[in-house]
Amino acid sequence: MKHLLGLENLSKEEILSFVEEGEKYREWLDGEYAETRKPLSYLKGKRICLLFYEPSTRTRHSFEIAGRLLGAEVSSFSLAVSSVQKGESFKDTLLTLESIGFDLFVIRHSCSGACLYASNVLQKASVVNAGDGMHEHPTQTLLDLLTIYRAKKTIEGLKMAIVGDILHSRVARSAIFALGKFGWELHICAPPTLLPKDIEKLNVKIFHRLEEAIKDVDIIYMLRIQRERQNEQFFPSIEEYTHLYGLTHQHLSLAPGAMVMHPGPVNRGVEMEGKVVDGEGSFILEQVRNGVAIRMAILHSILGEAR
Ligand code: CP
């Protein structure tokens, strides 16, 4: 695979292979690496550029750590002090950085399709999509699958509720594309104004009441309201949204033993009560831990020789 642009066109076997490789890296991180603190050298001599046009904490830093742990040189592009501020286009930025000598670009951009565009513009370098507009966030879903695989010992035929701002969520789109391939029952829950047009065509069940959506599911997956992508009013007030769609610890009795997940960042007290974020059923920090392992698997698969 030269690029990872999304999960829509990946096969079930390709997705599974990332999860299995991620699991091996997670075992390495917890075992040999925790003991020796010695990085690997599979990507020695390779150069990775983290080209982020939007803010990020988890994705950016876990890719940085993943690249370094594999022996690559990793540079972080700083939008605020780059020549983009002097009017340089996305295309010229890509070609300039490729000429400097990068082998792979991890790209986050506010435009859906920016990563596909980059993969067409670049002559030799690879592209990994770290979130493009409202399109896809494939590495998030892969790390989520690794988290579920470790907890449930399977990623086949589970039942999950995805609750929140589905309309603006690239995480939800990647999840819907991937989980359908594994025979999941997907409950999509949001106010009607925060659902994409024709979403029911994606083989999901639509709910507008949180209590009904989460009943007896294996996983409750909460999403943030993406106010940075909302240029109009989608619901009367945050307070009303929280009242109707915010997950509280009382809700958890409707899905006993369910994993509670969130891609982060969480707006505590909006989509989830702090008590749930920090509670026993929460896998939010485990998702973050698995982010390093899955991104090692992705970088190795694209840039490395066979293990
Ligand atoms: N989940 C996620 O993409 O988080 P960041 O925006 O912090 O990278």
Determine if ligand 1 sits within 6 Å of the CB of residue 56.
Answer: yes
Distance of CA 265 from the midpoint of ligand 1 (Å) = 6
What pLDDT tens digit does each residue of the chain (307 aa) get? Answer: 999 999 999 999 999 999 999 999 999 999 999 999 999 999 999 999 999 999 999 999 999 999 999 999 999 999 999 999 999 999 999 999 999 999 999 999 999 999 999 999 999 999 999 999 999 999 999 999 999 999 999 999 999 999 999 999 999 999 999 999 999 999 999 999 999 998 989 999 999 999 999 999 999 999 999 777 677 788 888 999 999 999 999 999 999 999 999 999 999 999 999 999 999 999 999 999 999 999 999 999 999 975 5
Residue 194 near residue 235 (C-beta atoms within 8 A): yes
180 SS3 class: helix
Over the stretch 40-66, which tens digit does the pLDDT of each residue have? 999 999 999 999 999 999 999 999 999
Determine if ligand 1 sits within 6 Å of the CB of residue 39.
Answer: no
**Atom 4, ligand 1: residue with shortest CA distance:** 58
**Atom 5, ligand 1: residue with shortest CA distance:** 56
Determine if ligand 1 sits within 6 Å of the CB of residue 226.
Answer: no
Q: Please report the atom of ligand 1 found closest to the CA of residue 264.
A: 1
Distance of CA 171 from the midpoint of ligand 1 (Å) = 10
Q: Please report the atom of ligand 1 found closest to the CA of residue 131.
A: 3
Give all strands (DSSP E) within the chain, no chain letters.
47-52, 73-76, 104-109, 126-132, 159-163, 185-189, 205-207, 219-222, 259-261
Nearest to 135 by CA among 173, 190, 106, 179: 173
Determine if ligand 1 sits within 6 Å of the CB of residue 224.
Answer: no
Over the stretch 217-233, which tens digit does the pLDDT of each residue have? 999 999 999 777 677 78
Q: Looking at residue 32, what is its pLDDT? A: 98
Q: What is the pTM of this model?
A: 0.96
**Atom 3, ligand 1: residue with shortest CA distance:** 59
